[in-house]
Structure 1
Amino acid sequence: MSQPEGAADFLTEAPELVIGVVLPETGSLSFLYPPENAGVHLGVEDVRAGGGRVEIVAGDSGTDPDLAVETVNRLLGEGAHAIIGAAASGVSQGIIQTLYESQIAQCAASNTSAAFSTQENAEFFFRTVTTTRADAPVMADNIARSGGTKVAILARGDDWGKSLSEQLTKSLEELNVASEVVVFSQDAVNFQDTAESVGTMGADTVVILAFAEGAQIVRSLLEAGVPPIAMHGGAGMFDVELPSIVSPGSPELLDGFTVYAASGSVAFNERLSEVVGGNVVFGGQAYDCVIVLALASLAAGSTDGPDILAEVQNVTRDGTKCFGYGECAALLAQGVDIDYDGVSGPLDLDEVGDISVGRFGIAQVRNGVLEVLRVQDIDVD
């Protein structure tokens, strides 16, 4: 698109946006760091290619809210105008009050807990991923199609695990599939009792809502005689290394295991895979965090949190459709109201910072390799 007179000045004179990135370089969700971090950097690359001005400062969140708070405070001290992260809902709960008090925009690429939609200190929080209201129907539908009739839901005892297990129970019930939730402590020494409870309840299908401890749970389930084809994992287990972690030397023993998580489009996943070797979970959502923040800052002509938040909804709905930073920025330069559709879906952020259409990658272990079988969109409304 050719730019009208003055458009180049509009872009080059826009304030430089500094984004702080708070992701788990360490901890039980460290496997999410490569795709989310790569998604951020691809977003920055595209913003700069489109004439935008953006810089990144970054730090480790681990899966520790205290560490994340330390990191956020450091990044704010280094001039961050907005934050992307944390990866875990529970860790974001640890930093959200600081960002609320500092009036700093926070975009989460992988926080699916429904709690953020209603809490008062989430005024500056928005996300490019759907809540567990979308995860649950995708999982439930696939489980029902696979012949599941009695489902054991093994749920991590944190905000994410409880939220998703509640939604999954409802979605399964709507499909006339019975289920029972077993909450486990992620700090347990072993998970033999958790695995044995599956046999006690007579379940023919098991859903594992876990992080890194999920590998140990899967091993316990295999020892208890549960076949991988009967196992389904949530986003916290969408790790391309999982088959080798569960069964070193014989990753094919996990063939049939199915896992679900938000991802980008097929085309974006291919681009991301060139960087991270197939690990695409939440990468598209992290990319869209960068693009939305950059477009909102450009539209506002400001890097102040309240100004950015005032434009987040405006640049993602009810305007002229555009599909990349360069295209959307050129329209803004012409005074056109835009509606950015991202690689993670149409976005259409609402007044509480939620989206209604989720894009999911459904993957299965085949010949010892976790492969994305298909990408599926779901409208939670």
Structure 2
Amino acid sequence: MVRRIRRRQVLGGIAGAGVAGLAGCTGGDGGGSGRTIKMGLLMGVTGGLSNLGPPIRNAAQLVPQQVNDADTDFEVDVQFEDTATAASQGVSGGNALVNAGYPMICGALSSEVSLQVANQVAIPNGITMCSPASTAPDFTTLEDNDYFFRTPPTDALQGQVLARIASERQGHSSAATLYLNNAYGNGLSAGFVDSFENEFGGTVTASVSYSEGQNSYSSQLSEALSDDPDVLLVVGYPGSGVTIFRDYYNDYSADRDILVSDGLQSGDLPANVGRSMDNVTGTAPLGEGPGVEFFTEQYQQVYDADPSGKPFTRQSYDAAAVLVLANAAAGENAGAAVRDNMRTVAQGDGQEVTPGNLVEGIEMAANGDAVNYQGVSGPVAFDEAGDLAAATYEYFEFTDSGVETVETITP
């Protein structure tokens, strides 16, 4: 049978333990007149992304809830697996979804986790993945047989934006990077270094990697700052970011400009560090599509929280919405059929579908009508690599009340 997930059930389930499943049972297929669409959610709500992951998962969950609460013959059957922001657990969760018969996965979040799940689970089993937060450049050249898509832009673009800010906005000629040693950190640091040196004529004095979960990062900070660069770029997640910034402020000046990536866009970071962090700014993908108002209202109604300023929540709703639309157009719970309809429902000359009329869009797609999804984060047009064709970034700063946007930047 199908488990309908109602609004109150969602609130109760998400308020509970992070690894609690929003699991559905197996449902049957049908034609355009209505059937059960099966979608797995694979996201890190514990571990290094315990601060950022839950709102992203909540945003994706709005899509099946929206369908299941509507007056329609379609239902979305969901099973959630927590990756704990670890590749091994992500692979285990991905296999659990495959074994339960889910043809498509919304997730994962961490680029390293998504990369391993794609290579070890999705690609060999013919499962379509759409990540709302994996931004590493590695996915652009991944030999994925077209099974991997993502709704945020590649970090190759974010590295350029950060380099432009460091050089043109802040006026710096030297920089160092301190980055998490995984696909996300390596790719973003490399993109920044390449752009800062080759496009803006700057000098990168050091690029230092680190691992998550260490008690201190003083030695890595000392190595990165040994030549006294004008600006320091820190790439990582809040779990290790708190320790990094505590160590920094204990030993170094709060006057130095520090840039951070989207993974550290947490309004709770200054309070957890115990400093105002006035010298820290950063970038994150920012979309502004026709569904922003609807999405914000729905999120606030269900979770009694404002999604504004929470990274990748908009992209998460869009990833889930496109998967469900593609599945509806495919007419079956089959990974290859979903894959072949991902671009069909998100670009072209079809009837515009937004979050506000998503259920109607699902019915149209199932009936063979051409649809063009315009999401919360903007147009979701995938190029041949499964990347977004265009992107906009938010340049943000930390304040006493959280995170505020300084300006928006289009590469």
Q: 1:293 to 1:61 in 2, by over 3 A?
A: same
* Structure 1 residues 60 and 333, CA gap change in structure 2 (3 angstroms): closer
Residue equivalent to 2:253: 226
Letter in 2 for 1:294: V
Residue 342 (structure 1) shift? 1.4
Report the Cα distance in structure 2 between the residues aligned to 1:331 and 1:14, rounded to whole angstroms: 11
1:2-13 pair list within 5 angstroms: 13=33
Question: In the alignment, what sits opposite 1:355?
Answer: 388
Indicate the residue corresponding to 2:5 in structure 1: none
Distance 1:88 1:20, change over 3 A: same
- Kept in 2: contact 1:165–1:181 (CA 8 A): no
Structure 1 equivalent of residue 353 of structure 2: 322
Q: CA deviation at 1:354?
A: 1.1
CA contact (8 A) 1:361 1:372 kept: no
User: C-alpha displacement at 1:330, in angstroms?
Assistant: 5.6
- 1:345 aligned to 368, 371, 378, which one? 378
Query: How many Å separate the matches in 2 of 1:295 and 1:269?
Result: 17
Deviations 1:211-270 (CA, angstroms, capped at 9, x unpaired)? 2212211122222323266111112212221111111xxx43x23421322244364774
- 2:130, 2:146 → 1: CA distance? 11
The separation in 1 between residues aligned to 2:298 and 2:392, in whole angstroms, is 15
Give the corresponding residue for 2:313.
283
Shift of the 334–272 alpha-carbon distance from structure 1 to 2, 3 Å rule, reads closer
**Match status 1:162 vs 2:182:** no
Q: Any idea what the Cα deviations from partners look like across 1:181-226, whole Å, max 9, x if unmatched?
A: 4222214442112222344222111110122212211122222323
1:258-337, aligned counterparts within 5 Å?
258-265=281-288, 267=293, 270-271=296-297, 274=300, 275=303, 276-277=305-306, 278=308, 280-320=310-350, 321-324=352-355, 325-326=358-359, 328-329=361-362, 331-332=364-365, 335-337=368-370
Tell me the residue number matched to 1:246: 273
CA displacement 1:45-69 (0-9 Å, x = unmatched): 3444484421211011012211112
Distance in 1, Cα, partners of 2:71 & 2:254: 49
Code of the residue aligned with 1:323 in structure 2: it is: T
Deviation per CA, 1:280-299, whole angstroms, max 9, x where unpaired?
21111110111101111111
Deviates more, 1:68-77 or 1:299-308: 68-77
1-side partners of 2:217 and 2:151: how far apart? Answer: 33
DSSP 3-state at the match of 2:376? coil
Give the superposition deviation at 1:169: 1.5
Residue 81 and residue 150 in structure 1: after superposition, are their counterparts in 2 closer, same or farther (change >3 A)?
same
SS state of the match for residue 40, structure 2? strand
Question: Identity of counterpart residues, as a percentage?
Answer: 24
SS at match of 1:231: strand
Check whether the contact 1:104–1:306 (CA below 8 A) recurs between aligned residues: yes
Say which SS state the counterpart of residue 391 (structure 2) adopts.
strand
Instruction: State the Cα RMSD in Å.
Output: 2.5
The aligned counterpart of 1:53 is 75
Specify the SS of the correspondent of 2:341. Answer: helix
SS of aligned partner of 2:106: strand
SS at 2:190 equivalent? helix
Q: Distance in 1 between matches of 2:209 and 2:270?
A: 22
Deviation sequence 1:300-338 (CA, Å, 0-9, x none): 112200001001011112223432324534653675422
Partner of 1:4: none
Q: Write the distance in 2 (CA, Å) between the matches of 1:228 and 1:337.
A: 55
Residue in structure 2 matched with residue 370 of structure 1 by the alignment: 402
How big is the shift at 1:26? 1.3
Q: 1:334 to 1:375 in 2, by over 3 A?
A: farther
Contact 2:40 2:106 in 1 (8 A): yes
1 CA distance for matches of 2:130 and 2:175? Answer: 34
Gaps of 5+ in 1: 1-9
Q: Which of 154, 177, 187 lines up with 1:131 in the alignment?
A: 154
Question: How many positions carry a matched residue from both structures?
Answer: 365
- 5 Å-filtered alignment, 1:24-63, equals 24-48=44-68, 49=70, 51=72, 52-63=74-85
Distance 1:28 1:17, change over 3 A: same
Structure 1 CA distance for aligned equivalents of residues 318 and 187 of structure 2: 24
Letter in 1 for 2:222: E
Q: How does the TM-score come out when normalised to structure 2?
A: 0.81
Partner SS for 1:362: strand
Contact in 2 for aligned 1:228/1:257 (Cα 8 Å): no
| Cα distance in 2 between the residues matched to 1:150 and 1:301 | 55
Q: TM-score scaled by structure 1?
A: 0.87
Choose between structure 1 and 2 for higher RCO, CA contacts under 8 A separated by at least 6 residues: 1
CA 376–50 in structure 1, closer or farther in 2 if over 3 Å, else same: farther
Partners in 1 of 2:42 and 2:52 — Cα distance?
12
User: For 1:181 and 1:129, how far apart are their aligned partners in 2?
Assistant: 28
Are 2:218 and 2:247, in contact at CA under 8 Å, matched by a contact in 1? Answer: yes
> Quick check: 35-44 or 289-298, which moved more?
35-44
Closer/same/farther in 2, CA of residues 140 and 18 from structure 1, 3 Å limit = same
In structure 1, the residue matched to 2:222 is 196
The answer to whether residue 171 in structure 2 is matched with residue 147 in structure 1 is: yes
Gaps spanning 5+ residues in structure 2: where? 1-29
Partner of 1:73: 95
Aligned AA (2:250): E
Q: Secondary structure at the match of 2:408?
A: strand
**Offset of 1:105 from its aligned partner?**
0.8
Structure 2 SS opposite 1:194: helix
Stretch deviating more after TM superposition (223-232 or 310-319): 223-232
In structure 2, the residue matched to 1:89 is 111
Alpha-carbon distance in 2 for matches of 1:135, 1:30: 23
Q: Given the superposition, is the C-alpha separation of residues 331 and 39 from structure 1 closer, same or farther in structure 2, using an over 3 Å criterion?
A: same
